[in-house]
Amino acid sequence: HAKSNGRGRAEHFSDRLAIQMADRVQLESELREAVEHDQFSLVYQPQIAAADGRIVAAEALLRWQHPEQGERLPSSFIARAEETGLMVEIGEWVVQSVARSIARWGALGVEQRMAVNISPRQLDHAAFFRRLREAMHDAGAPARLLELEITETLAMHCSDEVIDAIAMLRADGASIAIDDFGTGYSNLARLRDLPVDRVKVDRSLIEHVAVEAEARTIAQAVIGLIHGLGCEAVAEGIETQAQLDVLRVIGCDVLQGFAIAPPMAEADFLAWARSAPGEAIRAAG
């Protein structure tokens, strides 16, 4: 039985593989076009202070307006962009855009920190920090309003050169956040040596805080560790009021997630910021 199906299965498998490879090649060429034809945009998600609900920052998140498929999320293309090296160019666009957004919002009286996600490929690129500085300078955006988000895994593998460059950027006033904390394997001794201001506790660690005593204990311990390192704790991916309440009680400093607001286009973000600062948290009591 197995034998008679073997050939069919092999063909089926190689067909699938061929389709997958064609898809990957197609995606790569579409990404090149996206870079050339300016199909990217940013959306912004607020981060609020647990203490009083005031907005402390916005995280800029990348969106791709695909000509046929409409809006595409980073999970569907970032890995491929990384593999092909296109992430360097896309990341360059992100950094330029964030610098201009900071300046534009500042002119509107919204002087607020903006966080930007940085990919491994970008940090590898020797010119990254120089171009980042230039982008901020050319846009007239002060470094103190910029935060770089670097994933835990990436942070653990930064070269000494990159750590030095990060330290210099921090000396200019920019801040650094470790993203997705709790999903990688941190060398805690190394974490101590990194120049970091905030640590973002990954959604997977806060998902069950309102329904499982163990999950709450772990989140509380992680927040204690972050405070012990002299950093602020940020919770990301907060989806319910119950999670939000627990996170405030266990001492999380900054809150981010759908329960507060989703990522929004610029106009929506600015309208939200004007109309409801503090609302999310006041509702929480």
Residues that bind ligand C2E (CB under 6 A): 45, 61-62, 73-75, 78, 91, 94, 117-119, 149, 179-180, 203, 236-239, 257-258, 263
270 Cβ neighbours under 8 A, 6+ residues apart:
105, 108, 110
- The one of Mg ion, ligand C2E, none whose footprint includes residue 17, by CB under 5 to 8 A per kind, is none
Q: What CA–CA distance (Å, rounded) separates 175 from 143?
A: 8
Inter-residue contact 254 to 246 (CB < 8 Å): no
Cβ 211 to Mg ion shortest distance, Å = 20
Q: What CA–CA distance (Å, rounded) separates 42 from 266?
A: 8
Tell me: does residue 253 bind Mg ion (CB under 5 A): no
Encoded one letter per residue, x for contact with Mg ion by CB under 5 A and - for no contact, window 181-220 reads ----------------------------------------
Q: What CA–CA distance (Å, rounded) separates 173 from 226?
A: 21
Cβ 261 to ligand C2E shortest distance, Å = 9
Instruction: Pick the closer one to ligand C2E by CB: 45 or 112.
Output: 45
- The one of Mg ion, ligand C2E, none whose footprint includes residue 238, by CB under 5 to 8 A per kind, is ligand C2E
Cβ 202 to ligand C2E shortest distance, Å = 7
Cβ 41 to ligand C2E shortest distance, Å = 10
- Binding residues for Mg ion, total number by CB under 5 A: 5
Kindly report the three-state secondary structure assignment for every residue of 227-275: HHCCCEEEECCCCCHHHHHHHHHCCCCEECCCCCCCCECHHHHHHHHHH
Q: What CA–CA distance (Å, rounded) separates 191 from 193?
A: 5
Alpha helices in 46-85 (DSSP H): 78-84
Which range touches Mg ion (CB under 5 A), out of 66-74, 87-95, 176-184, 255-263? 176-184
- The one of ligand C2E, Mg ion, none whose footprint includes residue 46, by CB under 5 to 8 A per kind, is none
**Nearest CA to 150 among 194, 100, 187?**
194
Instruction: Pick the closer one to ligand C2E by CB: 105 or 181.
Output: 181
Inter-residue contact 170 to 195 (CB < 8 Å): yes
- The one of ligand C2E, Mg ion, none whose footprint includes residue 119, by CB under 5 to 8 A per kind, is ligand C2E
**Nearest CA to 224 among 249, 187, 256, 252?**
252
Instruction: Pick the closer one to ligand C2E by CB: 112 or 257.
Output: 257
Tell me: does residue 117 bind Mg ion (CB under 5 A): yes
Among 147, 180, 232, 253, binds Mg ion (CB under 5 A): 180
Among 149, 152, 232, 253, binds Mg ion (CB under 5 A): 149
- The one of ligand C2E, Mg ion, none whose footprint includes residue 62, by CB under 5 to 8 A per kind, is ligand C2E
Instruction: Pick the closer one to Mg ion by CB: 28 or 158.
Output: 158
Beta strand spans in the chain (E): 40-49, 55-66, 70-72, 113-117, 146-151, 175-181, 198-201, 232-235, 254-255
For residue 105, which amino acid is it? W
Binding site for Mg ion (CB under 5 A): 117, 149, 179-180, 236
